[in-house]
Amino acid sequence: MREYTYEWDAKKYGDETQPILKITKSSFGSFQWCPKKYEFCYPFRLPQDTTEPMIKGTVVHNSRQTFFDEFDITKAESLSHSELITYNMGLHPIDDYTDIYRNIATFEAQRFVDAREAGNIDDYLPVVNEVMLDAEIEIPFDINPKCILKRNYKVHLQGIIDRMFLDGGNYVPLELKTGLWKEWRTTGMRKEMAFYKLLVESATDESLEAAGLDRDISITHWGWYYPVSNYIHIEQVKKSSTTALMRGITQILKAYENEEFPAKYYYKTCAHCSFYPICDEAQAATWL
């Protein structure tokens, strides 16, 4: 596997000694949000301000991982629904996010009861709990008719999958989000899940073995969980989302080819961006 980097030079791609472009779910999402922000964050590696939502996301994600690491199936098997909620709460830390943990504890209590009644307790725990995978894929130059590249490119995919469960003999990745659920987030969530699916299907043998995953088991469904809103959604995979993901990757490659990362200015979001003071497009729009 070749070296990989965000500080990538498309002009040197033919040189096998040079690294290829690294793409993560986060970097892909950042580019989709604003190519200029992507440039500041990844090729330039400029630090971002630490915000409360970022802190909350880190803390709650860590507690979710610990929850599944410490959950005792044998102990839980004899507990009632209310006892399960109490038990689940005890697996979470004491901090500023008790309300979120209460929603999660209640949700997991019901999910365990449902699994117990269906005789599927063995599938209650995830087969993946915060696992990183690596993969290399080739992006055809013409996969995006609106963004034709100069050539085919190999890129390195890397990502940490929150959770993945077995259901009906198939894998189901489930993403945790700590914000409020809004319907407009659906398209973005599907691209994120398509990234995970592509990552698993293309992962190196070493990554899959370390994660305990079987290449012959398919991902037929995916989903996302927003505990703040008590919202969970599971659906069949969408081929159109994988197509949209691949086309989005071509846009990143084209930006590197052109050495141009244009800003997507929107006053409601840009005002809260860490890079607002140094973004020429945002500053120019402010003075219009």
* 174-222 pLDDT per residue, tens: 999 999 999 999 999 999 999 999 999 999 999 999 999 999 999 999 9
Q: pTM here? A: 0.93
Mean predicted lDDT score pLDDT of the chain: 94
Nearest alpha carbon to residue 226 among 88, 104, 114: 104
Q: How far apart are CA 3 and CA 17, in angstroms?
A: 8
Which amino acid makes up residue 238? K
* Measured distance CA(37)–CA(30) in Å, rounded: 7
Report whether pLDDT(287) > 90: no
In tens, the pLDDT along 234-283 reads 999 999 999 999 999 999 999 999 999 999 887 777 877 888 888 888 77
User: How many CA atoms are closer than 13 Å to the CA of 247, on its beta-carbon side?
Assistant: 11
| 253/242 Cα distance (integer angstroms) | 17
Main-chain dihedrals φ then ψ at residue 130, nearest 5 degrees? 60, 75
Integer-rounded Cα Rg, in Å, for the chain is: 21
Task: Give mean pLDDT, residues 158-165.
Answer: 96
